[in-house]
């Protein structure tokens, strides 16, 4: 007999928006009955060469919401991103919806407060309207949602399980891409393995939506899979145990350069997607620590 669908109440509509600049996927998750929705991991466009920001990616989301006559109930980030700026604050200003992230973000804030030497940074998560703890529940319209703490890629990573869909951020990629790195400050390969195993305990028909797709072999962007597909085909999961996975992940991570925007993005994203305040001349400035990570891959 098939496994009871006891963890699912409802089937949300999921619209993904792929950002080719950062290989990120933004999501609008909506209840077709009530027309209420959540926005997950929105991107504020940033060009590191000119220091310019734009709202083109986030505007795509707003256009979709307007076209579909949706009401935004939540603006959710799965973790403080290291490769793009969060558009959470921009979208809050446009929609009035509350922002939220995992409660363990306070640990990430404390860690990066030291890296940036940022004494004025509040490390209580007050930059968001709500902090979700592991196991917390909420709703998108009439659809039940649950939060799973999924550390490993970062200390604060969470998975949002909304009806029969799970938003697994940078923990598991598409099967031909494997899994996320675990060498950022606060990351841990063993905890990543444990988080993956917890996600794989969801019902087999759970739809999984990843946070990035790097298009291996030049294929078109993809972002939806299932528990069954990941178990049978993910090149970093199939046939592995905890020991072999941790060894593989640590070896692989040692060859990877840091994301080009990590030092730009984290100071924005641990502030809930807020750019630094303007200085006396009316301009905003990012702070880039020099030699913060020691001897790393270039």
* Residue 210 near residue 25, CB atoms below 8 Å: yes
Which residue ranges make up each domain of the chain? 13-269
- The SS3 of residue 190 is helix
Nearest-angstrom CA–CA distance, 35 and 141? 7
Question: Per residue in 282-291, pLDDT tens?
Answer: 999 999 999 9
In this prediction, residue 293 has a pLDDT band, given cuts at 50, 70 and 90, of confident
Portion of the chain with pLDDT greater than 70, in percent: 97
Give the pLDDT confidence score for residue 112 in this predicted structure.
97
13-269 placed in CATH 3.60.15.10:
yes
Please report the sign of the dihedral spanned by the C-alpha atoms of residue 183, residue 157, residue 170, residue 79.
negative
Question: Per residue in 210-220, pLDDT tens?
Answer: 999 999 999 99
- Which letter does DSSP use for residue 272 in this model? T
Question: Per residue in 128-170, pLDDT tens?
Answer: 999 999 999 999 999 999 999 999 999 999 999 999 999 999 9
Give the pLDDT confidence score for residue 152 in this predicted structure.
97
Question: Per residue in 261-286, pLDDT tens?
Answer: 999 999 999 999 999 999 999 999 99
Nearest-angstrom CA–CA distance, 103 and 192? 18
Question: Per residue in 47-63, pLDDT tens?
Answer: 999 999 999 999 999 99
Assessment of whether the complete model's pTM goes beyond 0.75: yes
Strands (E), the chain: 13-19, 24-31, 36-40, 43-47, 52-54, 71-76, 85-86, 99-102, 130-132, 137-140, 143-149, 158-162, 165-169, 207-210, 224-226
């Amino acid at each position: 007999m098939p496994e009871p669908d006891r963890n699912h109440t409802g089937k949300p509509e999921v619209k993904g928006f792929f950002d080719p600049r950062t290989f990120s996927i933004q999501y609008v998750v909506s209840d077709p009955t009530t027309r209420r929705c959540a926005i997950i991991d929105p991107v504020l466009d940033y060009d590191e060469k000119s220091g310019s920001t734009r709202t083109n990616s986030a505007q795509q989301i707003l256009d979709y919401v307007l076209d579909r006559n949706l009401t935004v109930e939540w603006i959710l980030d799965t973790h403080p991103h290291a490769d793009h700026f969060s558009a959470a604050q921009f979208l809050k200003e446009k929609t009035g919806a509350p922002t939220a992230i995992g409660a363990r973000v306070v640990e990430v804030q404390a860690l990066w407060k030291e890296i940036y030497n940022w004494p004025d940074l509040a490390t209580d998560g007050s930059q968001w309207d709500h902090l979700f703890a592991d196991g917390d529940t909420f709703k998108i319209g009439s659809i039940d949602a649950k939060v799973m703490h999924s550390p490993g890629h970062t200390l604060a990573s969470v998975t949002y399980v909304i009806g029969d869909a799970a938003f697994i951020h940078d923990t598991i990629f598409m099967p031909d891409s494997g899994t996320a790195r675990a060498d950022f400050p606060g990351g841990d390969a063993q905890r990543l393995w444990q988080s993956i195993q917890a996600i794989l305990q969801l019902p087999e028909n759970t739809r999984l939506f990843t946070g990035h797709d790097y298009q291996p072999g030049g294929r078109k962007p993809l972002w939806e899979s299932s528990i069954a597909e990941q178990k049978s085909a993910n090149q970093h999961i199939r046939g592995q145990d905890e020991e072999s996975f941790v060894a593989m992940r640590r070896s692989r991570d040692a060859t990877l350069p840091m994301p080009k925007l990590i030092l730009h993005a984290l100071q924005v994203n641990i502030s809930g997607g807020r750019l630094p305040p303007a200085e006396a001349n009316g301009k905003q400035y990012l702070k880039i620590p020099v030699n913060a990570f020691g001897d790393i891959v270039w």
